[in-house]
Structure 1
Amino acid sequence: MNIKTLEDLFIHALSDVYSAEKQITRALPKMARAATDPQLIDGFKLHLEQTHGQIERIDKLVEVTPNVKIKRMKCLAMEGLAEEGQEIIDEVEKGPVRDAGLIAAAQKVEHYEIATYGTLATLAGLLGYAEAKTLLAETLQEEKDTDIKLSKLASIKVNADAGKK
């Protein structure tokens, strides 16, 4: 993509995160099946529902924002993060240690999304896309909330269970 303007940069980043969200919808069910902790499984399932909503939010953003259309591309960063999660599934025996690894992998994804949605919300504000900024800020908050939930689950239960193994 030829990026010459702030709007070009916004469209590129939005297209990239759209691809990332689509990849996440394929990774989360695998992570839920690979986990053993009931809270973690439920968390992955809930985040899958949220991810579908986030994709819908991007679709809405495109509808209401003039000159903004998603470009077909693949988010290479998310592809790498998904591969890391798959490595945990493939290489770590099912149980608390795998659950701890899955949380770590999921938090890497969340941190990537937090950075991306924060940037997009800022760019939307600079470009005068008020409704887009609101939609992106909503997704940003969901991602932050998910990261906090993962941290709590890890620190209160999963990591302690993994340490007993």
Structure 2
Amino acid sequence: MSLDSLHDLYVDELKDLYNAENQLLKALPKMAKKATAPELKAAFTEHLEVTRTQIGRLEQIFTALEVSPKGKKCKAMEGLIEEGKEVLEEDGNPSVIDAALIACAQRVEHYEMAGYGCVRTFAGLLGYSEAEVLLQETLDEEKEADEKLNELAETVINVEAQGAEDDEEGEDDTEEGEEEPEDPKPAPKGGKSAPKAGSKK
């Protein structure tokens, strides 16, 4: 596609976001399944439904433009999801894995916030007032999701992950303290013990 006007760029960015949301639609159930904390599972499951609504808004905008939403691959979202897959394949402390999942999810949210902020602005400049409102709704939802993940990380997940690290260090300290004492020095030959310091000869 040739980018000869702001309208061309607007459509191109919308297609990028449409593909990004559809990639995320497939990734979120896997993230929810991997998460251990009930609050995090719920957050991912809730955002899955929100993502479906956001895709519906984009389709509404494309219908008004009389343009197909397909035809573009969002390489940025593809890369973010690939990073997320590495976490999905990791073993380790559940709380630490949950913290890693939140980090991945927030990278995605920040990318989407930047994308929706741009197309919302383009829509306003181009006079697409209805699309501008729809895109603002989605932008608000992405910000809300990011804030919720941030709060969950700061109040629950990261705290538990730090606790897991402290527990591990405590186990290491216990192991170090369980070394066997050195053998006492043998008594001198002849069966007599060495005289105590300060005693008369």
TM-score normalised by L of structure 1: 0.96
In structure 2, the partner of 1:83 is: 82
RMSD: 1.1
Gapped runs of 5+ residues in structure 2? 165-201
Q: Residues 17 and 94 (structure 1 numbering): CA distance in 2 closer, same or farther, change over 3 Å?
A: farther
Question: Residue type of the partner of 1:157?
Answer: V
Larger Rg: 2
Instruction: Say whether residues 1:55 and 2:55 are aligned partners.
Output: yes
Specify whether residues 16 and 63 from structure 1 end up closer, same or farther in structure 2 by C-alpha distance, changes over 3 A only: same
Task: Give 1:68 deviation, angstroms.
Answer: 4.2
Contact preservation (8 Å) 2:19, 2:70: no
**2:105 partner amino acid:** A
Give the secondary-structure state (helix, strand or coil) at the position aligned to 2:22. Answer: helix
Relative contact order: is structure 1 or structure 2 higher (C-alpha 8 Å, sep ≥ 6)?
Answer: 1
Aligned residues: percent identity?
50
- Contact 1:96/1:158 (<8 A) preserved: yes
User: Counterpart in 1 of 2:111?
Assistant: 112
What is the Cα deviation at residue 32 of structure 1?
A: 0.3
Aligned to 1:127: 126
Aligned to 1:44: 44
Q: What is the number of residues matched between the two proteins?
A: 164
1:153 counterpart residue number: 152
Runs (4+) of structure 1 moved beyond 4 Å?
none
Length-normalised TM-score, structure 2: 0.79
Residues 27 and 82, structure 1, Cα contact 8 Å, conserved in 2: yes
Measure the CA separation in 2 of the matches of 1:94 and 1:30: 18
Alpha-carbon distance between aligned partners in 2 of 1:32 and 1:108, rounded to the nearest angstrom: 16
